[in-house]
């Protein structure tokens, strides 16, 4: 079970973007793309078929999973995540600090 999923709000815990918070746009293996975090400038050629203009485009680059933590709104901090099987057989993510269920 993945600890970080698309749509989660995460906190960057190390690197040049330390302390920044954002939503996960996509997960690619052991790397994540977080909205408005780790922005890079990419020189792009125009592509008329995709109706895409050329020029310098600013977009998100990936961050390693180990450099982000799931954000807990209750404590306002990034926290570690574990998994737990409920009585009905569902497997859910829980915060390690207080055992609160992340998935609804």
CATH, domain range 6-72: 2.30.30.30
Neighbours of 93 (CB within 10 A): 19
Residue extents of the structural domains in the chain = 6-72
User: Considering only CA atoms, which of 89, 88, 85 is closest in space to residue 101?
Assistant: 85
What integer pLDDT is reported at residue 60 of this predicted model? 95
Average pLDDT score over residue span 4-15: 95
Question: How does pLDDT run across 30-56, given as a tens digit for each residue?
Answer: 999 999 999 999 999 999 999 989 999
Is residue 21 within a helix (H) or strand (E), and if so which, with residue range? strand 21-28
pLDDT for 59 beyond 60:
yes
What integer pLDDT is reported at residue 104 of this predicted model? 55
């Amino acid at each position: 079970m993945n600890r970080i999923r698309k749509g989660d709000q995460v906190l960057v815990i190390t690197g040049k973007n330390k302390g920044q918070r954002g939503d996960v746009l996509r997960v690619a293996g052991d790397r994540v793309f977080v909205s408005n975090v780790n922005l890079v400038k990419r020189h792009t050629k125009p592509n008329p078929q995709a109706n895409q203009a050329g020029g310098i485009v600013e977009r998100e680059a990936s961050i390693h999973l180990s450099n982000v933590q799931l954000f807990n709104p209750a404590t306002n901090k990034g926290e570690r995540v574990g998994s737990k099987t409920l009585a009905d057989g569902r497997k859910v993510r829980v915060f390690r600090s207080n055992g609160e269920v992340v998935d609804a």
